[in-house]
């Protein structure tokens, strides 16, 4: 239980680290965001990462993501992967990256497994090996060790321990990991965005080395990438039967900043851009959305805004509501309640979405 630093309300649904309640974030953001952003700075200092995206007057610009860092001499970009050394940006590239991977038997716990080819056989025979789940095959799960957001409830926060480690992996090593049982490559993390040049090159190499067979290219992302890179992602996923899964974390921009440290405007713009391509391949779905139901912060109002936005683009876009589990700087909140999850499910349907579900129902609290 914590007390809001603005309105002094005490509740189980206030994170002590953020220090402010949902209503104050919405009604008095000029006060509330100061407290939330201090929590972001503390969490980043703990890992040696820049507290905010650098905007050095004489720095080197990076346009990979929404943060558009202008990195000072000797300094790091917000993601921690790129450094300005003697006027040149060095670090990861299309040739070398900071990542790890494993072979995950299909069907797996992918956010889109309930609609994707690997989990359902959707798109058979062009994009799936069989009708139904692809038992006996694997997903090459590629985990990138950096992110463009700073979610205070990050479920995979340990990647930060690897972000600044001075070890990179050649792209050829990842490509060689694609074996005969691999039917999809899924990039996640962290987030693939900061290392998209690497992921795009690896994907093209893997497809060239494995012609005339099922090999889908999929993504789980916060959607903050440069639009030019996004268009390359779309093309790869469209042609291979892959899925692009966007994590829409909040609708209210102020709340989004409080939770992630970064605006959601690029994410929403990019989601709409992918939605324009849905008609080019309806099965399996190109685009899937998900939202983590963070108790005390992501409520029915947030889900309603997100669902209305998705429905305005295409009401058939699959949307998964996910239960929150205590992690990182927001480990003092309760689990998502069953009542909240089902209210949000109903709200999403009321807004016109035709394909909504609760993704990890086993985590719900009675």
Tokens (6 digits) for 166: 């001075």
The mean pLDDT of 168-187, rounded to a whole number, is 98
pLDDT in tens, 13-38: 999 999 999 999 999 999 999 999 99
Tokens coding 44: 């980043």
Residue 38 maps to a domain: yes
327 has a pLDDT exceeding 90: no
Q: Are residues 260 and 126 in the same domain?
A: yes
pLDDT tens-place string over residues 60-91: 999 999 999 999 999 999 999 999 999 999 99
Of 30, 61, 91, which one is at a domain's C-terminal end?
A: 91
| pLDDT for position 285 | 98
> Does position 11 have pLDDT exceeding 90, yes or no?
yes
Element (H, E) at 59: none
Which pLDDT value is given to residue 152? 97
Kindly state whether residues 117 and 153 are assigned to the same domain.
yes
Q: Which of 235, 270, 285 is where one domain is finished? A: 285
CATH number at residue 132: 3.20.20.70
Looking at the structure, do residues 105 and 245 belong to the same domain, yes or no? yes
Instruction: Report the DSSP pairing between strands 287-293 and 216-221.
Output: unpaired
Q: Is residue 139 part of a domain?
A: yes
pLDDT in tens, 165-176: 999 999 999 999
Coil, helix or strand for 154? coil
Q: pLDDT at position 366, please?
A: 84
Cα separation, 97 vs 168, in Å, equals 5
As a whole number, mean pLDDT of residues 307-325 equals 97
Closest CA to 132 of 118, 143, 142: 118
Same domain, 83 and 228: no
* Residues 60, 3 within the same domain: no
Is there a domain that residue 55 lies in?
yes
Q: Is the pLDDT of residue 295 over 90?
A: yes
Q: Average pLDDT, stretch 211-216?
A: 97
Average pLDDT estimate for 244-248: 98
* 157 and 132 within one domain: yes
In a domain? residue 232: yes
Across the range 108-135, mean pLDDT stands at 95
Q: To the nearest whole percent, how much of the chain has pLDDT over 70?
A: 100
For residues 70 and 100, state if they share a domain: no
- Match 């494995």 to its residue by tokens: 210
pLDDT at 124: 97
Res. 110: pLDDT tops 90: no
Instruction: Report the pLDDT averaged over residues 257-265.
Output: 98
Are 60 and 148 in the same domain?
no
40 and 145 both lie in a single domain = no
| Co-location of 145 and 28 in the same domain | no
Segment 203-225 mean pLDDT: 98
Domains in the chain, number: 3
Arithmetic mean of pLDDT over the chain = 97
Percent of the chain at pLDDT > 90 equals 97
Q: Is 173 helix (H, G, I), strand (E, B) or coil?
A: helix
Q: What are phi and psi of 351, to 5 degrees?
A: -80, 0
Q: For the chain, where are the E strands, in sequence order?
A: 2-3, 10-11, 60-61, 70-71, 82-85, 88-91, 96-97, 99-105, 138-144, 169-170, 182-189, 216-221, 244-247, 287-293, 319-323, 356-358
Query: Residues 9, 137: one domain?
Result: no
361 falls within a domain: no
- Give residue 65's domain range: 49-91
Whether the full predicted model's pTM is greater than 0.75, yes or no, is yes
Domain end position, chosen among 57, 91, 125: 91
Is residue 354, in this structure, part of any structural domain at all? no
Query: 154 and 59: one domain?
Result: no
């Amino acid at each position: 239980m914590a007390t809001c630093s603005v309105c002094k309300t005490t509740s189980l649904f206030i994170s002590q680290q953020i220090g402010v309640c949902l209503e104050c974030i919405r009604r008095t953001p000029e006060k509330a965001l100061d407290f939330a952003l201090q929590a972001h700075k503390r969490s980043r200092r703990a890992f040696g990462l820049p507290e905010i995206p650098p905007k050095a007057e004489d720095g080197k610009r990076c346009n990979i993501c929404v943060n558009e860092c202008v990195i000072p001499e000797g300094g790091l970009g917000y993601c921690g992967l790129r450094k300005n050394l003697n006027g040149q940006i060095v670090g990861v590239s299309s040739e070398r990256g900071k990542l790890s991977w494993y072979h995950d038997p299909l069907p797996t716990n992918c956010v889109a497994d309930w609609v994707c080819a690997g989990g359902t056989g959707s798109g058979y025979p062009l994009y799936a090996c069989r009708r139904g789940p692809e038992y006996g095959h694997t997903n090459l799960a590629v985990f990138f060790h950096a992110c463009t957001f700073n979610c205070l409830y990050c479920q995979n926060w340990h990647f930060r321990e690897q972000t600044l480690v001075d070890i990179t992996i050649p792209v050829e090593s990842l490509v060689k990991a694609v074996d005969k049982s691999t039917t999809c490559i899924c990039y996640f993390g962290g987030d693939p965005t900061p290392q998209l040049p690497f992921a795009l090159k690896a994907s093209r190499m893997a497809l060239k080395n494995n012609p005339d067979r099922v090999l889908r290219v999929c993504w789980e992302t916060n959607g903050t990438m440069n639009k030019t890179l996004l268009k390359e992602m779309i093309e790869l996923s469209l042609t291979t039967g892959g899925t692009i899964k966007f994590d829409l974390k909040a609708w209210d921009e102020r709340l989004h900043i409080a939770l992630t440290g970064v605006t959601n405007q690029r994410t929403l713009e990019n989601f709409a851009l992918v939605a324009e391509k849905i008609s080019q391949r309806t099965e399996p779905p190109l685009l899937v959305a998900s939202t983590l139901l963070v108790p005390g912060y992501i409520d029915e109002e947030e889900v309603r805004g997100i669902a209305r936005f998705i429905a305005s683009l295409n009401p058939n876009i699959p949307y998964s509501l996910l239960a929150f589990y205590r992690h990182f700087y927001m480990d003092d909140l309760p689990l998502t309640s069953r009542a909240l999850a089902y209210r949000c499910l109903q709200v999403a349907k009321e807004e016109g979405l035709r394909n909504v579900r609760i993704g990890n129902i086993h985590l719900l609290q009675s």
